[in-house]
Amino acid sequence: MPFLENVTRGRGIPSERLAEVGRHYFLFGGKSPINDQCRSLLAALTSELRRRGLRVPLYWGNRNWHPYLRDELRAIDRDGHRRVLAVVTSAYPSYSSCRQYRENLFDAAQGTRVLLDRIRHYANHPGFVQASVDATLEAFERLGESADEAHLVFVTHSIPAAMGNTAGPAPRSSRGAYVDWHAAVASEVAERVRQRRARNYQSDLVYCSRSGPASQPWLEPDINDHLRELATRGVPAVVVVPIGFVSDHMEVVFDLDTEAAATARECGIAFARAATAGEHPAFVRGLVDLMLERAAVARGEKPDRPVLGTAPVGWYECRSDCCPNLREPGRPALCQMPG
């Protein structure tokens, strides 16, 4: 519960809802799986850097639980490091998946001598896309005979509609960069799966893990509602691709593997969930490539910045009007363009 209270502080989530979500965690050892997954990713990144002959010190800080970001930045400062690169475990632009992290970095860096940069948004980087394609193909194999008639269901975390509409820099589309980027990456993964399996699959982008009050519009459709709608159309099977997540945390292992899988069973739909990027070798290599790319830019070089699909190249610094904080306008954030 203390972790959940940190996650939701200031959002007006009723205590009854927190208690309900807390019970989900007791199905999985009574704690969030995120820390163990971060440890594994950190070890994989360390191995990949060393494979390339780079012994770069890596630190890990959370915003909602130990080890806290503020404590790690103070440790970095004490250890004598002055130029630091942030690798955020969130791949898309929006307030909650980008600017909020930059606000946290600003707060945590206060009182230190550390200069912080970050890698660009990376959902459309070849490493992330390849990990998603491989996981989707493996999930199709688990469906067996029903695979050819399956629908692809790409899923990400729902956010308030107002946050979605203002995601990304202006000028932006009416639905915002958060939805645009997810749609572009989903389309790219679906096309590559089609090429590999020599078959077209219908696909949709849906959402999970809504946590706001009923009076506040959030991005829809919810995955459970979508599965019920597919059942009315006679769809026999789905491959659910958690394209908005980089690891198997609670929004995946409960909201998808437990809740959505139960909905699919009730509807008579065969269900296979693709793995998240996790420690997939292509994803790990891609993150290191992005680290080296950002370092090259800091040296004044112009490295290649590969992307796949129709979404633009992500940015290292955000404009002040990009993904605004709608609750606290003007709150300072790092990695932001002047003005």
Percent of the chain with pLDDT over 70: 99
If asked whether residues 144 and 66 sit together in one domain, one would say no
Rounded (5°) CA angle 109-34-158: 90
If asked whether residues 90 and 33 sit together in one domain, one would say yes
Contacts of 16 (CB under 8 A, 6+ apart): none
If asked whether residues 156 and 210 sit together in one domain, one would say yes
Q: Is residue 313 part of a domain?
A: no
Contacts of 165 (CB under 8 A, 6+ apart): 174, 175, 176
338 pLDDT tier (thresholds 50, 70, 90) = confident
Q: Is residue 319 part of a domain?
A: no
Q: Is residue 152 part of a domain?
A: yes
If asked whether residues 131 and 263 sit together in one domain, one would say yes
d(CA 168, CA 171): 8
Structural domain boundaries enclosing 215: 126-273
If asked whether residues 168 and 293 sit together in one domain, one would say no
If asked whether residues 108 and 146 sit together in one domain, one would say no
Q: What is the overall mean pLDDT for the chain?
A: 94
64 pLDDT tier (thresholds 50, 70, 90) = confident
Q: Classify residue 257 by its DSSP letter.
A: I
If asked whether residues 269 and 134 sit together in one domain, one would say yes
pLDDT at 23: 80
Among 257, 273, 289, give the residue marking a domain's end: 273
Q: Is residue 307 part of a domain?
A: no
Contacts of 329 (CB under 8 A, 6+ apart): none
pLDDT tens column, 274-327 = 999 999 999 999 999 999 999 999 999 999 999 999 999 999 999 999 999 999
Q: Is residue 308 part of a domain?
A: no
Lowest mean pLDDT among 10-19, 34-43, 265-274: 10-19
238 contacts 264 by C-beta, under 8 angstroms: yes
Token representation of residue 292: 């080296």
320 contacts 336 by C-beta, under 8 angstroms: yes
Rounded (5°) CA angle 291-273-180: 55
12 pLDDT tier (thresholds 50, 70, 90) = low
pLDDT at 11: 64
Start-to-end CA span in the chain (Å) = 40
Whole-model pTM above 0.85? yes
204 contacts 153 by C-beta, under 8 angstroms: yes
* pLDDT over 80 (residue 194): yes
Question: What amino acid occupies position 230?
Answer: L
Q: Is residue 71 part of a domain?
A: yes
CATH number, domain of 145, equals 3.40.50.1400
If asked whether residues 100 and 220 sit together in one domain, one would say no
2 pLDDT tier (thresholds 50, 70, 90) = confident
pLDDT at 118: 98
If asked whether residues 259 and 151 sit together in one domain, one would say yes
pLDDT tens column, 105-117 = 999 999 999 999 9
If asked whether residues 29 and 141 sit together in one domain, one would say no
Q: Is residue 321 part of a domain?
A: no
- The total of structural domains in the chain comes to 2
pLDDT average, residue stretch 89-94:
97
Pick the more confident residue, 9 or 205: 205
Q: Is residue 335 part of a domain?
A: no
d(CA 263, CA 28): 20
If asked whether residues 164 and 91 sit together in one domain, one would say no
d(CA 2, CA 22): 10
* pLDDT over 80 (residue 198): yes
If asked whether residues 86 and 130 sit together in one domain, one would say no
